[in-house]
Amino acid sequence: MSSMTRTMVTVSATAVLMTASLAAQPLDHATLAAIRDEGLRRSQVMDHISWLSDVYGPRVTGTPAIEQARVWTMEKLRAWGLSNVHAERFAFGHGWSLERFHAHMIEPQVMPIIGYPKSWSSSTDGTVTAEVTRVDIRTEADFETYRGTLRGKIVLSQPAREVRMLEGDLVLRMTDAQLAEASRTQVPPPARRRRGDRGGRDGLSFNDRLQQFYLDEGVVAVLDRGGDRFMMGAGSGLPYQTQRTDGGTIFVGRGGPRDENAGNVVPSVTLAVEHYNRMVRILDKEVPVRVELHVETTFHAETDAAGQMNAFNILAEIPGTDLAAEVVMIGAHFDTTHAGTGATDNATGVAAMMEVMRILHTIGARPRRTIRLALWGAEEQGLLGSRDYVRRHFGDPRTTGLLPAHETLSGYFNIDNGSGRLRGIWLQENFAVAPVFEDWIASLHDLGVTTLGPRSVSGTDHTSFDAVGLPGFQFIQDRLEYNARTHHSNMDVVDRVQRDDVVQMAVVAAIFAYNTAMRDELLPRKAVPRVDR
């Protein structure tokens, strides 16, 4: 999942509360009680997570593993009796799988290295042994310093980083103070564009030029130790920092393109910072370091022999009754990054939303509107699946050209912030919906759901809906170890999932979906965003 940012529209809380009486509508308490009973007493959510993560993870878009996970998921949805279970495919680029990896420092002493290749990295030429050198290339002018000196070598591309004792917030369950802060609006800092993203005259970024330099110079592989230790409360809408855990937890990024240039890069690996730092310190003493390295990867074509594209969204429905032409959508991203098994990002969200559908079907719920599950592909590459779906079915945010189905969607609810329980919901600056949700969460306080956050948050699939003026919402969620340990790391595994929290997630999401489906009216909407031409 990507980082969330906060925006603000000042609003009078009094004005919102004045409309509360208009939002109240009798709730189907018998069905809501049945949702709780089935979801809390007979949950299957951990079994879903284990299949998706232990058996089929990681689920990187465009790979055989995610296709296997798709088959299992669609068979499960059909076995439950859901309707219109199908996949919608879209263009993505080359898929990528890791086949084999190992690394050892062999001089001056032997040390098995904890590391993980970056996604879309190329392969080494079998198992290679090479001298290690440290470089400091920050600008194109630095290329000349190293030209002609790197052939046949393994490059350390960053300085050492201090590893401090872990302290402060590592496991984040939202406190009363943080929930109170979430209920207020706040002006975000101005957005900044990173200099490294600027392309040159030929459209290439500095990183593109650096990668080409490594290729031209005959570098064997590039090793790094990941990014900074602190991560803002990304995705939470809150301005706190979390210290990322060292000690073998590796936050691995992307190592190459997935377009027609896929594979045309030097192999790249992120190492545990402690092992990386050791090699830097040895080199600083002018003692040679040699590493044995094996990286084996496979690139998968964008289309198969039958012309079928390699990215997809999974859809399934519970048909409505008297308002069946109108739709409530729930969803989570199905794909993952590659270093772990994608348990907290985002098998928890997928399993919770699958469980919503199982619960509702099992108890015989008869929603007035159709409830549609969507499990998105390629979220990790920029919300590609949900954006494709919205353009295809509801409208294009680039033109605000809207399709007829735009008028039939009541709302979309998303989960994508780890395995912590839901604590409320972000309003996405849709202040007219506040009285509706306030009425619903009044009966959910015993489950820990208490807070309406007025802010717009971004970075995950609900924003694809919000971009065309549809009510799209992300739940406020306890972060637990998501920022500190599991987000895009090799520790994103089933063992880090907290069962009781995910059980609660499914029950709360089911109640929101069912209440939305039973309202006399669609959920209130914001204005369709204006496109500046």
CATH of the domain at 467: 3.40.630.10
Shared domain for 273 and 328, answered yes or no, is no
Residues 139 and 14 grouped into a single domain: no
Amino acid occupying residue 63: T
Band (pLDDT 50/70/90 cuts) for residue 28 is very high
pLDDT digits (tens, 9 = 90+) for 256-281: 899 998 999 999 999 999 999 999 99
Least confident range of 11-20, 88-97, 336-345, 502-511: 11-20
Residues 248 and 136 in one domain: yes
Domain boundary among 252, 280, 300: 300
Shared-domain flag, residues 395 and 503: yes
Q: Rounded to two decimals, what is the model's pTM?
A: 0.91
Same domain flag for 331 and 261: no
Is residue 316 within 8 Å of residue 98, measured between CB atoms? no
Is 532 a member of any domain?
no
533 lies in a domain? no
Same domain, 441 and 314: yes
Residue 378 in any domain: the answer is: yes
Instruction: Take residue 59 and report the two structure tokens written for it.
Output: 């689920």
Let me know whether 382 and 256 are in one domain: no
Q: Do 417 and 476 lie in a common domain?
A: yes
Rg of the chain, C-alpha, whole Å: 24
Task: Assess if residue 428 is contained within a domain.
Answer: yes
Residue 36 to residue 359: CA distance in whole angstroms: 9
260: exposed, middle or buried (Cβ count in 10 Å: 0-12, 13-18, 19+) = exposed
Same domain, 21 and 82: yes
Residue 178 lies in a domain: no
User: What's 151's domain CATH number?
Assistant: 3.50.30.30
Q: Are 100 and 88 contained in the same domain?
A: no
Question: Is residue 500 a part of any domain in this protein?
Answer: yes
CA nearest 228: which of 161, 176, 287? 161
Helix axes 29-41, 499-518, angle to 10 degrees: 160
Do 399 and 486 have their domain in common? yes
Of 251, 269, 300, which one is at a domain's C-terminal end?
Answer: 300
Tokens of 81: 């009796």
Q: Which of 300, 319, 339 is the last residue of a domain?
A: 300
Q: Summarize the confidence of residues 223-252 as an average pLDDT.
A: 70
* Whether residues 373 and 501 fall in one domain: yes
Name which residue leads in pLDDT, 245 or 78.
Answer: 78
With vertex at residue 336, the alpha carbon angle to CA 301 and CA 449, rounded to the nearest 5 degrees, is 150
Token digits of residue 14: 């009094």
Domain that holds residue 410: 6-92+310-518
What is the percent of the chain with per-residue pLDDT over 70, rounded to a whole number?
88
Domain count within the chain? 2
Rounded distance between C-alpha atoms, residue 273 and residue 247, angstroms: 8
pLDDT band at 130 (very low <50, low <70, confident <90, very high): very high
